[in-house]
Amino acid sequence: MTKLTPPNATELEEAFDALAERRLELAAPVNTLVDPTSVPARFLPWLAWSFSVDTWDDQWTEEEKRSVIVASIFVHRRKGTIGAIRRAIIAAGYNAPTIREGKGGVLYNGFYNFDGTQTYGDPTKWAEYSIILGRPISIRQAENIRDILAEVAPVRCKLVNFSYTEAANLYNSAISYDGAFTYGAVA
């Protein structure tokens, strides 16, 4: 590399020049720093910040982090819609959720369990919604999804039920009693 320091440069200036040259050698090519699929993993948090990712978890795998960054453009364009909620939850590494809007209009057709999570057409419950996942999640994961919903769901709406369709604990020693999982719906 061409030296830019003058011939009368001090030792300190030469050291700074050498350091700057070394830093340029370590840097990644600029065109890879804005592409979530090719950016080096150590730059993902800054790329997420530049894409205005609302919820970030350092515990996510690298693949989940990249997926969240890619999905952030779609989510920001459609924020406040069911599609944005679904895309944000899937990008964070969870199964596709079933989203039920409004509490009301329940029929006696055997589809619902009458356990207090549904009402029979209360007109004041139009802004309430439920999230149903296919597999059980831990309490920490539920908090993560709640953070996502707080950023993506419409502010006027209220999450009233958060549950899953599979049994949380089959009592087969796969889940230990350490407080990470609940016995049913995540409150």
Number of C-beta neighbours around residue 60 at 10 A: 18
Structure tokens at 172: 């087969």
End-to-end CA separation in angstroms for the chain: 61
Residue 67 and residue 89 in contact, taking contact as beta carbons nearer than 8 Å: no
pLDDT by residue for the chain (187 residues), tens only, comes to 567 788 888 999 888 888 877 766 656 677 778 899 988 898 899 999 999 998 899 999 999 999 999 999 999 999 999 999 999 999 998 889 999 887 665 666 766 666 666 656 666 778 888 898 888 888 888 889 999 999 999 999 998 888 877 655 656 666 666 666 665 555 5
Alpha-carbon 153 to chain mean position: 13
Residue 132 and residue 164 in contact, taking contact as beta carbons nearer than 8 Å: yes
Helix-strand-coil percent breakdown of the chain, rounded to 5?
40, 10, 50
Q: Tell me what pLDDT residue 53 has.
A: 93
Say if strands 128-133 and 98-101 run parallel, antiparallel, or are unpaired: antiparallel
Q: Is 74 exposed, middle or buried (0-12, 13-18, 19+ CB in 10 A)?
A: middle
Q: Please give the C-alpha separations between residue 159 and each of 11, 112, 119, 138, in angstroms, as whole numbers.
A: 64, 18, 15, 18
Residue 61 and residue 92 in contact, taking contact as beta carbons nearer than 8 Å: no
Q: What angle, rounded to 10 degrees, do the helices at 139-152 and 82-91 form?
A: 140
Q: Single out the residue of 140, 176, 151 nearest to residue 79, CA to CA.
A: 151
Q: What is the pTM of this model?
A: 0.66
Q: Tell me what pLDDT residue 31 has.
A: 74
Number of C-beta neighbours around residue 185 at 10 A: 15
The runs of H, that is alpha helices, within 27-119 are: 44-50, 62-77, 82-91
